[in-house]
């Protein structure tokens, strides 16, 4: 018997903050649930008194919430050195027990439970009360399909700090929001995080952050990403939105309620995902990053200049080289034509003459066209056009002197085709034939 009226019948639940009993109210004649709130061990007498005062304050805050989805708080008392909270008894089994016994549930059923829990949290938040320990073992599922949020034993108002004066961080580590795990204040977004972890466990069958120890679990909550979803299906966008580390980016209650209602009606859920917010970079890191970037840019510019200069040098137009005009010395042999009185007996005999240097014109890039082929060794040269006509005595005319020979046109060579052209015009006179 507790408080002179509540007879304890059997244990129906146990948690880190105490035990829940099925009891009977001897005064009103009804069954109730009585939670025995056990203080943490190793507390001094003064710390125990502070803990009791705080529990009474939290129970009174939870008593202000009136909603069908919230287990009503009837009474709070102190006995046997610790507080007791008397609540509405709901004949049901917890969501945690259902998952452990039957395994993960379909996403549509989890969405229906989540929608009812959102309505209960809306009523609590409207009264200024934060639950701070939303988890499957605190969700009751009735036989008619209702979901009831219970165990407001550690509930508090929004303006209270998350850590007690004794330094105890209240709540279940695997379901605690990152801002609370880091020592920050609780907020309505903290309850939304806990709801997201609860629905994750309902469809996946395991916790996204549970580790071997409480300290490792808190570290995973603050720094690790949730384990990949395998069974969430259409519920995945809602879970990812509720499990965002930053409470400012976390999915709000209104948005989560709208998305879950869409899933219940069979509509396609909207895509969502974590928003990446660039972290502020310290100025000294920015300067250190700019130095290597400047060096890389300078090196690239130098390579570009060298490469471009080499390409221009290799593709530049070549200067035309004009050959230097050099004098050419041509040595020819003067040819003396001997002609007998008989036209059939004509002989030629070359005479050695001194070499006469002659200046020829510079070589041209293309040879001049020739009208007749040059003479060969087998073909005798024609009489020189500069030779004089034979005398009446039949003796050949003497050749020109060196002075006359050098008076020719520059580039003209003795014994060349000029004599051939002159020989064509020269015809023997009929009167000079011998009898």
- Span 76-133, pLDDT tens digits: 998 888 889 999 999 889 999 999 999 999 999 999 999 999 999 999 999 888 888 8
Count of CB atoms situated within 10 Å of the CB of 166: 16
CB 148 within 8 A of CB 70: yes
Distance of CA 206 to the CA centre of its chain: 33
pTM above 0.75, yes or no: no
- Span 152-210, pLDDT tens digits: 755 554 444 444 444 455 678 999 999 999 988 889 999 999 999 999 999 999 999 99
- Which residue in the list 25, 133, 137, 191 is annotated as catalytic? 133
Residue 138, pLDDT > 50, answer yes
Task: Identify the band that residue 318 occupies on the pLDDT scale cut at 50, 70 and 90.
Answer: low
Dihedral sign, Cα of residue 34, residue 39, residue 44, residue 47:
negative
- What element of type H or E holds 280? none
- Span 32-87, pLDDT tens digits: 999 898 887 788 888 888 888 888 887 887 788 889 999 888 999 988 888 899 99
Q: Helix, strand, or coil here: 136?
A: helix
Task: Give the sheet arrangement for strand 139-142, strand by strand.
Answer: 92-94, 139-142, 147-149
CB 169 within 8 A of CB 190: no
Q: What is the mean pLDDT of residues 279-289?
A: 49
Query: Any binding-site annotation on 35?
Result: yes
Q: Supply the mean pLDDT for the chain.
A: 74
Q: How far apart are CA 413 and CA 24, in angstroms?
A: 148
CB 381 within 8 A of CB 413: no
Distance of CA 294 to the CA centre of its chain: 22
Predicted pLDDT of residue 265: 85
User: What are the chain's domains?
Assistant: 6-264 (1.10.510.10)
Q: How far apart are CA 182 and CA 297, in angstroms?
A: 43
Residue carrying structure tokens 């009503």: 72
Structure tokens at 39: 């203080």
User: What angle is formed at CA 303 by the lines to CA 300 and CA 305, rounded to 5 degrees?
Assistant: 110
Q: How far apart are CA 85 and CA 2, in angstroms?
A: 11
Structure tokens at 6: 């509540």
133 annotated active-site: yes
Q: For residue 122, what are the contacts with CB-CB under 8 A and spacing of at least 6?
A: 253, 257
């Amino acid at each position: 018997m507790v408080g002179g009226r509540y007879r304890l019948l059997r244990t129906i639940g146990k948690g880190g903050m105490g035990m829940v009993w099925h009891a009977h109210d001897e005064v009103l004649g009804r069954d109730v649930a009585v939670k025995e709130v056990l203080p943490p061990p190793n507390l001094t007498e003064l710390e125990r008194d502070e803990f009791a005062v705080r529990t009474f304050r939290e129970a009174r805050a939870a008593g202000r919430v009136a909603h069908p989805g919230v287990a009503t708080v009837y009474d709070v008392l102190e006995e046997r050195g610790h507080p007791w909270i008397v609540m509405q008894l709901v004949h049901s089994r917890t969501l945690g027990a259902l998952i452990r016994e039957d395994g993960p549930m379909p996403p549509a059923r989890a969405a229906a439970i989540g929608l009812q829990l959102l309505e209960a949290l809306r009523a609590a938040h409207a009264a200024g009360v934060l639950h701070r320990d939303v988890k499957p073992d605190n969700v009751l599922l009735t036989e008619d399909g209702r979901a009831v949020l219970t165990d407001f034993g550690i509930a508090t108002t929004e303006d209270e700090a998350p850590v007690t004066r004794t330094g105890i961080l209240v709540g279940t580590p695997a379901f605690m929001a990152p801002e609370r795990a880091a020592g920050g204040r609780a907020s309505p977004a903290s309850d939304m995080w806990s709801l997201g972890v609860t629905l994750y466990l309902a469809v996946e069958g395991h916790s996204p952050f549970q580790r071997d120890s409480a300290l490792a679990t808190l570290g995973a909550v603050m720094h690790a990403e949730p384990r990949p979803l395998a069974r969430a299906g259409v519920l995945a966008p809602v879970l990812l939105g509720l499990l965002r580390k930053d409470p400012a980016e976390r999915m709000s209650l209104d948005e989560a309620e709208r998305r879950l209602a869409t899933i219940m009606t069979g509509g396609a859920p909207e895509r969502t995902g974590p928003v990446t917010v660039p972290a502020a970079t310290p100025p000294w890191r920015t300067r250190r990053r700019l130095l290597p970037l400047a060096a890389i840019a300078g090196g690239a510019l130098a390579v570009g200049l060298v490469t471009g200069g080499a390409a221009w040098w290799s593709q530049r137009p070549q200067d035309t080289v004009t050959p230097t005009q050099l004098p050419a010395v041509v040595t020819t042999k003067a040819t003396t034509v001997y002609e007998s009185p008989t036209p059939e007996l004509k002989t030629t005999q070359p005479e050695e003459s001194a070499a006469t240097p002659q200046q020829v014109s510079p070589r041209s890039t293309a040879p001049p066209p020739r009208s007749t082929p040059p003479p060969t060794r087998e073909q005798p040269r024609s009489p020189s056009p500069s030779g004089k006509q034979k005398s009446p005595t039949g003796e050949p005319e003497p050749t020109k002197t060196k002075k006359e020979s050098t008076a020719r046109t520059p580039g003209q060579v003795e014994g060349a085709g000029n004599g051939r052209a002159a020989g064509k015009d020269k015809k023997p006179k009929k009167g000079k034939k011998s009898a």
